[in-house]
Chains A and B, each alone.
Chain A
Amino acid sequence: MKPILVSISILALAACFISSVLCAMNDISPETNKTVLLAGTLVWFVFTPLWMGRKKRGISK
């Protein structure tokens, strides 16, 4: 499960980055770019807490 969650988080950040590059190249409008950035942000904060910083039980320091 964790690899899927990690992949979704990475894809969210990648979408933000690629969207801004496409905006810079005038391939998408600034408004579309802003929408993708917001969507990527929401996906990141929904899925990343599900895998980042979670420790397995029973592992000593």
Chain B
Amino acid sequence: MVNERMSDREEKQILAPAGEYEREPVPEHATRGLKSYLGMFAGEHVAGTELLIGPLFVVHGVTAFDLVFGLLAGNLLAVLTWTFITAPIAVKHRLTLYFQLEKIGGKYLIKVYNVANGILWCCLASAMIYVSATAIAVPLHFKMPALNDWLPPGPGLIITVILTGLLFTYVAARGYQALAQFANIAAPWMVVLFAVFGISALPELGIHSLKNFWTVANQSIWPGHVSEGRIHFTFWHVMFFSWFGNMAWHWGMGDLSIFRFAKKYTYGFASAAGMFFGHYMAWICAGLLYAVQVHRNIADTAITPGSLALGVAGWAGIILVFVAGWTTANPILYRAGLAFQSLHSKWPRFKVTLAAGVIASVIGIFPGLSSKFLDFAALYGLALCPMGAVIFVDHYFMRRAGMLDFYAERANLSAWWPPLAAWFLALIACVILNIGFGVQIFFLGLPGWIMAGIFYAVMSKSAQNRFLIKRLSL
């Protein structure tokens, strides 16, 4: 009973970090300054999975130019999207993503959205569990998977992943706050350690000054050789991946919940701290670690973050890999538990989170997901972004087109079908583009988002009740 009460309180804290306002606009006095956004983005986007993404760019055969300038362009576009697409709507309504979606599509839309989110969060958490597990498995000399292995290579890694997953799950199920505090403490150290990784890797690659960095980068670090079974990444792949890597949060409007506390929409520029520390510096530094590993043994192409970090930074690197995986897996497991619990309010969150964590741990056993993490990250953004298009269209176009915004709320409906139909039709269209026309998943985000917006507007036009529009417009 005590635990349940604590859980309720913690649940409110995570859903509404300032204390309340889950179902009401954030008042002016509760808004936050720019500094808190800079710190939050810098900490949130330096995670364990950066140690997978940086090396995966190398195995996909990017060149140094494509990486350095593709990341620059993509991260800049991501910052602009947060600032000019997400933040203005957040500051205007000051509502959570969930409450805004409920007003548009009714409470049943939220349930479907939560299940989709919960499943994707389990997969995301599994990659983070795997990353942290490698920090334990490598010093114990357990056999690690090769680059393209889908199955675990032996019982050592399986047991390590399961035990790591269960530890993370238990802590997440017990509550969110303790490890969140630890994550805040670790964040500045993680940013510095990622930079240290990159700098420490330089001498082994034969780089002793900035003068020969570009030459070595082209010849030894990002030479543009594609590994077997991988597609070749160009500038456009890098740019679109870094732009859409967090698509669920900006185009998909997930960060409405964050920016509703911002004093001005221009605080969206604070996302640059996360993008350029986490998705620029950290990805490049992780690529350098991988280059060192291949430089030492050309046959060793496996991507095991523990091994990469141990080689260059010793035990501090091992600690970083474990902490970076844990601090990001913890809130994800917690949120996955909440998402599934929303299906049935009487389900105890503790047990639901345990179940979500067990699922994530079992998925984490299979290294295939981690070695295909770029594809998964693109899928994650693509699957959730149509709901962002629905919110965008509802905010900017419904009234101008003679329709009602927040229709489910105004018509007092529990379920309003156009948002849900637009979501599924957009995803079906993306599958057709992918399978029928060969458009790679990395490029489907924006077409999917635009199609969802058009579908939603067209279906709303035919489905909204004209009498209700007239009555409420008077």
Contact = CB atoms under 8 A, between A and B. Distances in A.
B193 A16 contact: yes
A38 B319 CA distance: 9
A19 B203 CA distance: 13
Contact of A17 (B186, B196, B203, B208): B196
Nearest to B184: A53
A52 B317 contact: no
Nearest to B316: A37
Interface string A20-51: 11011110001101110110110011001100
A13 B203 CA distance: 21
A30 B196 contact: no
Interface string B186-213: 1011001101100110111001100000
Given A34-B316, A48-B185, A49-B185, A24 B193 contact: no
Contact of B189 (A20, A21, A31, A41): A41
B120 to A, nearest CB: 30
By DSSP majority rule, is chain B's interface helix, strand, loop, or mixed? helix
**Which of A17, A23, A37, A44 has most chain B Cβ within 10 Å?**
A37
Nearest to A40: B316
B156 interface: no
Nearest to B200: A20
Interface residues of A, number: 26
A34 B199 contact: no
Contacts, number: 75
A49 to B, nearest CB: 6
A57 interface: no
Interface residues of B, number: 28
A20 B312 CA distance: 10
B315 A13 contact: no
A18 to B, nearest CB: 10
Contacts of A38: 314-316, 319
Contacts of B129: none
A41 B138 CA distance: 20
A37 B203 contact: no
B314 A35 contact: yes
A2 interface: no
B185 A16 contact: no
B18 interface: yes
Interface of B: 18-19, 30, 181, 184-186, 188-189, 192-193, 195-196, 199-200, 202-204, 207-208, 312-317, 319-320
Given A37-B316, A40-B316, A52-B184, 20 more contacts: A13-B188, A16-B193, A17-B195, A19-B196, A20-B195, A20-B200, A23-B203, A24-B202, A24-B203, A33-B200, A34-B314, A37-B200, A41-B193, A41-B319, A44-B189, A45-B186, A52-B185, A53-B181, A53-B185, A61-B30
28 contacts: A13-B192, A16-B192, A16-B193, A17-B192, A20-B196, A20-B200, A24-B203, A24-B208, A25-B208, A26-B208, A30-B200, A30-B312, A31-B314, A33-B200, A34-B313, A37-B196, A37-B200, A37-B313, A37-B316, A38-B319, A41-B189, A41-B320, A45-B185, A45-B189, A48-B189, A53-B184, A53-B185, A61-B30
